[in-house]
Amino acid sequence: MKNPFKINKNIKLKKIAVPVTVLLLTGSLTAFSYNTELTTSTYVKSPDFLEKKKDSVASVKAFEKVYSVLMSPRCMNCHPIGDIPLQGEDSHIHTMQPKRGKDGKGLYAMKCANCHQPENTPGLHAPPGNPNWHLPPADMKMVFEGKTANQLAKQLIDPNQNGHKDMKKLIEHADDGLVLAGWKPAEGLKLPPISHKEFKKAWITWLETGAYAPKQ
Ligand code: HEC
Ligand code: HEC
């Protein structure tokens, strides 16, 4: 499938109006083939996206910052290759080995929420907390561990790998509860390398300038 974000940048309002009208007038078969245009047309409602221009240099530079956060233990520990979360600054396998389970919330008696409370539990080596603490689901693992910047950038914007997020949803995800949890680590754990504000800025810049993937 074509990358909807790249197409988005070239689309002018007039060009959108045509396929949308055609769509309204014709049957569902046509609707299917015009799917991409429809998706992108929803972005046009936000003038912000039209103001920004494609800029591969700025985009790749912003992604470097984004990548440094994604690969930090506070994020990567919940985005592992395997089906067991990681722990600590060295991202070792979670003690007691809770398993992902179908919905990412743990298996049998080892549900994440049994130990991970809505708030951080005070004390060293106590579980960090969040009302929604869990891994991505088994059918969409959203793995960060072991990915190069090039691989991860492509994965993040692929709706079949990112939880069916479009541009708007991706931008909103910068303020997701579990993303914010990265900046509220349990006692004794480090913060991600840059502030949440800087991360959000870099994330949005990366997406809006074309979501380019670094060469490697
Ligand atoms: C407690 C575990 C947990 C932590 C910690 C966590 N995430 Fe996630 N992350 C998830 C889950 C679960 C999903 C899937 C939910 C969804 O897509 O809405 C997800 C989805 C994502 C996505 C969307 C998927 C994609 O590939 O586009 C991004 C981006 C993301 N996380 C970034 C981060 C960043 C950045 C941090 C650290 C600052 C972080 N996450 C920390 C569990 C976590
Ligand atoms: C039996 C209790 C228990 C269960 C069940 C459990 N955890 Fe944990 N978890 C902990 C404790 C305790 C820590 C802190 C360990 C430490 O710092 O030494 C922790 C730490 C973590 C960390 C590391 C956080 C960081 O910033 O490094 C992640 C990620 C994590 N758990 C995810 C999960 C997920 C996802 C599940 C469910 C699939 C889960 N845990 C199930 C007790 C549990």
Ligand nearest to the CA of 185: 2
Q: Are 195 and 136 in contact (CB under 8 A)?
A: no
pTM: 0.83
Whole-number Å distance between alpha carbons of 93 and 96: 9
Crossing angle of helices 56-70 and 149-156, in 10° steps, is: 100
Mean local confidence (pLDDT), 23-40: 39
Q: Which stretch of 32-36, 53-57, 120-124, 136-140 has the lowest confidence by average pLDDT?
A: 32-36
**pLDDT, greater one: 115 or 6:** 115
Q: Taking CA 103 as the corner, what is the angle to CA 98 and CA 105, rounded to the nearest 5 degrees?
A: 35
- Residue nearest ligand 1's atom 9 by CA: 136
- Residue nearest ligand 1's atom 14 by CA: 136
Residue 26 burial (CB count, 10 A): 12
CB 128 near ligand 1, within 6 Å: no
C-alpha 144 – ligand 1 centre gap (Å): 9
Per-residue confidence (pLDDT) for residue 17, from 0 to 100: 52
Taking the alpha carbons of 59, 64, 65, 69 in that order, is the dihedral positive or negative? positive
- 29: confidence class by pLDDT, cuts 50, 70, 90: very low
DSSP H or E stretch at residue 167: helix 167-172
User: Does the structure show a pLDDT above 60 at 216?
Assistant: yes
> Which contacts qualify for 157-165: CB closer than 8 Å, 24 or more apart?
157/3, 157/5, 157/207, 157/211, 159/1, 159/4, 160/1, 163/136
- Tell me the C-alpha to C-alpha distance, in Å, between residue 117 and each of 12, 94, 114, 126, 130: 48, 17, 7, 10, 6
Mean local confidence (pLDDT), 138-143: 98
Per-residue confidence (pLDDT) for residue 1, from 0 to 100: 47
Q: Is 160 exposed, middle or buried (0-12, 13-18, 19+ CB in 10 A)?
A: exposed
Listed residue (83, 84, 85) closest to 181, CA to CA? 85
pLDDT digits (tens, 9 = 90+) for 185-211: 999 999 999 999 999 999 999 999 999
- Residue nearest ligand 1's atom 17 by CA: 163
Counting residues of the chain whose pLDDT is more than 90, the rounded percentage is 75
**pLDDT, greater one: 53 or 140:** 140
Per-residue confidence (pLDDT) for residue 15, from 0 to 100: 52
CB 130 near ligand 2, within 6 Å: no
Mean local confidence (pLDDT), 3-31: 46
Per-residue confidence (pLDDT) for residue 53, from 0 to 100: 86
Average pLDDT over the chain reads 84
pLDDT digits (tens, 9 = 90+) for 71-109: 999 999 999 999 999 999 999 999 999 999 999 999 999
Q: Are 93 and 84 in contact (CB under 8 A)?
A: yes
Per-residue confidence (pLDDT) for residue 33, from 0 to 100: 37
Q: Which of 79, 116, 143, 144 to mutate to test the pocket of ligand 1 (most atoms within 8 A of CB)?
A: 79
Q: Are 191 and 185 in contact (CB under 8 A)?
A: yes
Mean local confidence (pLDDT), 36-62: 61
Mean local confidence (pLDDT), 4-21: 48
Place of tokens 């997701």: 176
Mean local confidence (pLDDT), 27-48: 38
Q: Which stretch of 24-28, 52-56, 129-133 has the lowest confidence by average pLDDT?
A: 24-28
